[in-house]
Structure 1
C-alpha cells in the first residue's frame, strides 16, 4: 500500500502525482472582525498538481476534539483526522439524546458481525449502511 500525503508539505502520491500538499488560501477572510474566521479554520489541504482536496476524500474526516457548554450555546470543535482502512476505524457524531452515529471504515474481509462488536452501543444499535469497506452505525447509548 502506498503512503499517501495528507499533511502540508507531504508529497501527494495519488496515482503517481508528485505534487506537494498545501493549505488552501483563505478567500473572503474576515479575521479583522473576529479572528480566526471560519475561512481560515475550515481551510483544507489540497494538491495543486492533481487537484485532490481533503474535503472530497472519504478517509479524511472531521472528528470531535472538544465540546464547550460555557456560553449560551454548545460549541463543538472538530479537527481533521484520517481514517485507517487497515483496521476498524470510525468517528462519532451526535445523533439524539439516546444515540450516536459511528461512521467509518473497515478491512473488507470482515463481516458486519465483527464490525458491530467494536461499534455497538450500550443498548445495541443498527447499521444504516454497510459495504465496500465503509459503514454507518446508529449506536443506542441510553
Structure 2
C-alpha cells in the first residue's frame, strides 16, 4: 500500500510539474496576458482617435471615431485557410505584451507596456490608452 501511495504521489508531482505556466504554450495565434485583456482607447476632445481590444485569444485594432475594427485573429485564420502559415512571436511579461506577426512577405510588430492597471502605451508613440 505504501508503494502505491508513493507511486501515486510521484506521478501527481510529475504531472503537475510537466505543464508550463508560460502564457505561450497553446495553439492560439494570440495569447494576451490577463492584465491587458479588455478595450483600450485613446480619446482626444471626447472623440475616439484609436485603440485596441484584447481577448484571451485575439487582438483587434480600433481606428477612428467610427471605431473601425480590424480583427487580426480572423485575418490570420483566413490566411491559414488560403494555405499560408502566419507566425505570431510573442513576448509576455507582467508589464509588456509585444508580438510580431510574420506572414512571410511582410511582418508587423506591436508593443504594449503597462503604465498602470488602467493605462497602457505603445512602443512606437507616447500615446496613452485608457481601459474602458
TM class by smaller structure: under 0.3
State the structure with bigger RCO (CA 8 A, min sep 6), 1 or 2: 2
Q: Please, what TM-score do these two structures have when normalized by structure 2?
A: 0.26
Q: Which protein shows a greater Rg?
A: 2
Higher strand share: 2
Higher helix share: 2
Q: Please, what TM-score do these two structures have when normalized by structure 1?
A: 0.25
